[in-house]
Amino acid sequence: MRLPLSEALDSVLFARQRLRFLPDTVQTELLRSAAPRLILNCTRQWGKSTIVAILAAHHLGVAEAGSLIVIVSPSQRQSAETLRKVSDFCRHAGLAVFRDGSNRFSLALDNGSRAIALPGKETTIRGFSAPSLLIVDEAAMVSDAVYRAVRPMLAAAPKARMVLLSTPRGRRGFFHCEWTSNRPWHRVAVPATECARISKAFLDEERQSLGEFAFRQEYLCEFADTRDQLFSHELLSAALTGDYGAWRV
């Protein structure tokens, strides 16, 4: 089965009509984004994995035969959970889903398009190439070594998309680097205070229970200094200068 042209051209229509999922304003923006590089910095429990799984299911429904989606997370369990969501959405959309016959954590459609869930281990993720969609879930907890290992997969697929999604985990690692860089990412931030599905009463309770540091990071999308950091980011930045005078020998 292939998707009707109207749903193939509009992933929001696909979500509403085929999946009975009603995206909010930001989710609608994400589903309709055509950006080749997309980075989501979102509060816990906003539904970032769900919306990206819908994006992946729609991608499989319209992709060319033999297309590949690669999903990477810190652990195999997390990658498999995202893959399960993609599989469920494909089934709800009426797409026939199979195993690809080679990989335990995988799905395939009858046109040969596949999605593979991989663990965040540099030594076990190499060997896949030219995915049309690369998803790095919980990116702030994926190592820089894994990120360096998966990016070359896109070399033979110039039109491929890459999506990073996470809640912050300190001012370190590639997720923080990409978020704060001047590279052409489509950046979307959703703090819990802007999510109608999370109540103020719950957030007040979480702030008291977790403390200010953890609350700002988990719910306000802030890249806070780690607790074991000896010097703050501001102090280190203030100590740097690009004004180097001539050295005399």
**Strands lying side by side in the sheet with 161-166:** 106-108, 114-118, 68-72, 133-137, 161-166, 37-42, 186-190
In the block, which residue shows the tokens 């033979």?
156
- Of 221, 70, 92, 54, the closest CA to residue 137 belongs to 70
State how far the Cα of 153 lies from the Cα of 134, in Å rounded to an integer: 9
Which pTM value belongs to this model? Answer: 0.87
Q: What is the per-residue pLDDT for 11?
A: 95
* All domains in the chain, ordered by first residue: 5-239 (3.40.50.300)
Q: What is the per-residue pLDDT for 227?
A: 56
Q: What are phi and psi of 38, to 5 degrees?
A: -125, 130
- The pLDDT profile of the chain, 249 residues, written as one tens digit per residue, is 678 889 999 999 999 999 999 999 999 999 999 999 999 999 999 999 999 999 999 999 998 888 999 999 999 999 999 999 999 999 999 999 998 878 889 999 998 899 999 988 887 788 788 999 999 999 999 999 999 999 999 998 888 999 999 999 999 999 999 999 999 999 999 999 999 999 999 999 999 999 999 999 999 999 987 555 444 445 444 444 555 455 454
In this structure, are strands 106-108 and 114-118 parallel, antiparallel, or unpaired?
Answer: antiparallel
Q: What is the per-residue pLDDT for 36?
A: 96
- Angle, nearest 10°, between helix axes 48-62 and 25-32? 30
